[in-house]
Homo-oligomer: A and B are copies of this chain.
């Protein structure tokens, strides 16, 4: 079951909760065609999106109660994937099933486990609680990207790119100029960067002034605390506080902070879904601000999209040229290593004894 580019035994986001309706939604996850829909009770079902009979995507059929009717010959599958009706047939073969996938709705995301269902422990779902915590606000978005999902992770694990890719919004020389602390343990990698006594970048400066009613931001202490959890989730704690107000020591009361929530889902080896949200802990009732920040987020990540898809094409064009790793890549090197370990472990399970 192991794939060389991604672990199969993991939870991957298939969509934001609002994306899955009383309707057939096709997705490709880890190379598998999957159709999602809500049952009457609002719970979500996920079936392989290929009829057992002649492979037509079930998502081209229609929902009938909690069952899916194939759009070609009318075979009906219940939400466990079992065929419960075959027009014109006397009996239904017990083999007439499509795969059903474990699904859990959590943190406003819909998580699917494409690998061995027996191992699908909901306790392994990455922590993205800021997306549905009453103390936090924000709106999620997603992109379809034509690149290896790991390029997105590389991008987020090295924020010095902000200086060059996001020059006009969140980037400035402070990021690239400040060293990074890295820690890793098991499936997680933590990176921290503190920029002391710097100019706030425009995006955060505006937020700081609005939240604390300041005329101008003045010099600030700025932080970027990146938490990666293999295979594909990254939460970034970002913020600024007036210099000397004690943020690094733990008092953020004069400052402003947010969480950049990111999770990436491989579609195939060279395409992925990228789900993201900026969550803030102030102005919670300001829906206009949520929309404004969502739009800013989309604008900024569109700058990344252009780079990432160009990088993917370049990698395909230069198969003999591996990426070089610099000090700034410490985070992505460790993240990729954690992914590799998951893949190797799956392979060992598939072939015990090293066969």
Q: How far is A57 from B309 in the complex, measured between Cα atoms in Å?
A: 11
Per a CB cutoff under 8 Å, which of B50, B56, B87, B307 touches A72?
Answer: B307
> Can you name the residue of chain B whose Cβ is closest to the Cβ of A171?
B74
* A310, CB-defined interface residue at 8 Å: yes
Contact between B310 and A53 (Cβ–Cβ < 8 Å)?
Answer: no
Binary contact readout A136-178 vs B (1 if CB under 8 angstroms, 0 otherwise):
0000000000000000001000101101110000000000111
* A42, CB-defined interface residue at 8 Å: no
> Can you name the residue of chain B whose Cβ is closest to the Cβ of A307?
B72
Q: How far is A71 from B54 in the complex, measured between Cα atoms in Å?
A: 46
Contact between A74 and B324 (Cβ–Cβ < 8 Å)?
Answer: no
Q: How far is A317 from B49 in the complex, measured between Cα atoms in Å?
A: 11
Q: How far is A176 from B88 in the complex, measured between Cα atoms in Å?
A: 5
Query: For the complex formed by this chain, how many copies does it contain in all?
Result: 3
Per a CB cutoff under 8 Å, which of B33, B69, B317 touches A317?
Answer: B33
Contact between A324 and B88 (Cβ–Cβ < 8 Å)?
Answer: no
Contact between A314 and B56 (Cβ–Cβ < 8 Å)?
Answer: yes
Q: How far is A53 from B164 in the complex, measured between Cα atoms in Å?
A: 14
A318: chain B residues within 8 A (beta carbon): 33, 50, 55
Contact between A164 and B73 (Cβ–Cβ < 8 Å)?
Answer: yes
Contact between B315 and A176 (Cβ–Cβ < 8 Å)?
Answer: no
Closest 4 CB pairs of A and B: A87-B176, A55-B314, A74-B164, A88-B328
Contact between B164 and A52 (Cβ–Cβ < 8 Å)?
Answer: no
Contact between A161 and B72 (Cβ–Cβ < 8 Å)?
Answer: yes
* A2, CB-defined interface residue at 8 Å: no
A-B contact pairs, 11 of them (CB 8 A): A52-B324, A55-B311, A56-B314, A72-B307, A72-B311, A73-B328, A74-B164, A86-B326, A87-B176, A88-B179, A88-B328
* A351, CB-defined interface residue at 8 Å: no
Per a CB cutoff under 8 Å, which of B57, B69, B160 touches A73?
Answer: B160
- Other A-B pairs beyond A71-B165, A73-B160, A73-B176, 13, CB < 8 Å: A55-B318, A55-B323, A60-B307, A61-B164, A70-B164, A71-B307, A72-B307, A73-B164, A74-B160, A74-B164, A87-B177, A88-B176, A88-B326
* A89, CB-defined interface residue at 8 Å: yes
> Can you name the residue of chain B whose Cβ is closest to the Cβ of A317?
B33
Contact between B88 and A160 (Cβ–Cβ < 8 Å)?
Answer: yes
A71: chain B residues within 8 A (beta carbon): 164-165, 307
CB distance from A66 to the nearest CB of B (A): 19
Contact between A323 and B53 (Cβ–Cβ < 8 Å)?
Answer: yes
Q: Which of A275-313 contact B (CB under 8 A)?
A: 306-307, 310-311
A89: chain B residues within 8 A (beta carbon): 326-328
Take A55-B321, A87-B176, A88-B177 as given contacts and tell me if A314 and B160 are in contact as well, using a CB distance cutoff of 8 Å.
no
A87: chain B residues within 8 A (beta carbon): 160, 163, 176-177, 328
* A90, CB-defined interface residue at 8 Å: yes
Q: How far is A179 from B306 in the complex, measured between Cα atoms in Å?
A: 56
CB distance from A239 to the nearest CB of B (A): 21
Binary contact readout A66-83 vs B (1 if CB under 8 angstroms, 0 otherwise):
000111111000000000
CB distance from A322 to the nearest CB of B (A): 9
Q: Which of A94-131 contact B (CB under 8 A)?
A: 96
Q: How far is A96 from B325 in the complex, measured between Cα atoms in Å?
A: 11
A176: chain B residues within 8 A (beta carbon): 73-74, 87-88
